[in-house]
Amino acid sequence: MSDRQTRYDLIKLQQELDTDDFSRLKYLTKDRVKRNKLSELKSTLDLFERLEEVGAISVKNGDVGFLLEALLLMDKKKLIRTFHETPDDVKGRYNGNKSNFTPFRRLFFTLGECMGSEERIKIKDYLKREHRIRKGTLEKAGDIWQLLTLLEENLPSPDIQTLQKIISLFDDEAVHEEFEKFKKGEPTGIHNSECADEESSSPVQASTTDVEPPSVDAPPSVDGLRDVNQEKRMMSYEFKQPAGFCLIINNEKFDNESVFKRRYGTDRDRDALKKTFEYFGFDVKVKENFTANEMKDWLREYSMVDHTHHSALVVCILSHGNNGVVYGKDGQGISIEDLLSYFKPDVCPSLTDKPKMFFIQACQVWTGNDPTPNEAVSDAQNVSQGTYSQESRTSCIPIIPMDADFLLGMATVTNYVSYRTNEGSFYIQSLTKNLMKFSPREDVLSILTEVNREVANETAVCESRMAKQIPEPRSRLRKKVYLNPKS
């Protein structure tokens, strides 16, 4: 494996690891990296860099066995395949005395993995009782791994009898099984991380696989990872909490139902959008069955709000529509371009240089001379499970705003129709599912490409005919948008 491939595999790995995984991985490296150096690490990339410095991994030689075994212990078996390995291969390679981790480290890591709130209380009581640890010190041990570190520090040379007392605090069978392995395996006791010579550790042996010569245009070190990751961050909008507002207008019932039929199933879209954007930390506001003027007034109201401390804006409109417009419940249309203009920099300066994402599920064309939306002429107004309501064909009228940092997600493109069932629309249901599935690993525009693929694979039957649909993202974004879940 080339050093370049290893760097990018490590990038993919760090994108998959969350904050808890970072803490777990740091704990597993305690025998390789000094404690004061561990405390300085702020990210997974920092940790990878440190592991290379101490010789635990070698990007140049493609040797990441230490991390592969750590992933196995963390039960992150799928991530092992990131490095083109299988869990069984890793398990066989690092079995017994070939392990990168001492029996003690494996035992205490198992304690951490099996520790619940009850066990945490028991360990704190043990430390107070047996080692007279003060309450303030215990409170500083904010998570499981800090508590285990505190426990280690008060067990300078633990014997089997002492460890037995600790193990007895756990009911989990996995802990007792690991302790039996520990007793049979000639444990070496605590591997004092303060004694780890990180500057002179012997380097890991080269991988047995063929090694390509280093790339001349990329340094064979984890620093290369940092460069790529920093470049990625520079190319993306800053996204932090509070995320901002998510404004949802859900028009299901219309005044003139002989023209604008009731939009059955739209409540499922509304609920899916609300759940999704709340997950990403947005303050979701929902309005139902607004007139055109009420829609305009409500959005104008939020254009006057101070968004200085927000990262983005999301607007979702679920309604009927025509070429370049959406309708209020009173049948009056509003230009989509006008709706976007409320949040341009000259009107809403606090959203300057921030992504403004609009997702619109609405008709975008009339058919024939009869001024009636497609949905009204469909024979599926009273939608039941398994039947579909034809909502729209989009026109190619350009409605992309001239100002930057807007993303407009449309349900359809020219000559295609958008479908909705009692379970919601193809587009919104796919959008919400894939945002939850792929964020923050992928950016929003890339996720919309997946939505295109997924919706295009759907087939609907309307008026006894097979029909297809393809959504259309229209982007004036200057950077990538990554949605991070609310912590």
The answer to whether the beta carbons of residues 431 and 269 sit under 8 Å apart is no
User: What letter represents residue 392's amino acid?
Assistant: S
Q: What is the DSSP code (8-state) at residue 351?
A: G
State yes or no: is 363 an active-site residue: yes
Residue among 320, 348, 396, 462 flagged as catalytic: 320
CB within 8 Å of 79: residues ≥ 6 apart: 13, 16, 17, 71
φ, ψ at 390 (rounded to 5°): -80, 120
Q: Which of these is catalytic: 348, 363, 396, 462?
A: 363
- Give the Å distances, CA to CA, from 274 to 287, 427, 485: 12, 15, 14
Q: What are the two backbone dihedrals, phi and then psi, of residue 305, each rounded to the nearest 5 degrees?
A: -75, 150
Overall residue count recorded for the chain in this entry: 487
Structure tokens that stand for 92 in this block: 């066989």
Distance, CA of 337 to CA of 364 (rounded, Å): 13
- The secondary structure of 223-287 as a DSSP string is HHHHHHHHHHHHTB----SS-EEEEEEE----S-TTTS---TTHHHHHHHHHHHHHHTTEEEEEE
> Read out DSSP for 74-143?
TT-HHHHGGGT--HHHHHHHT-GGG-SS-HHHHHHHHHHHH--HHHHHHHHHHHHHHH---HHHHHH--S
Active site residues: 320, 363
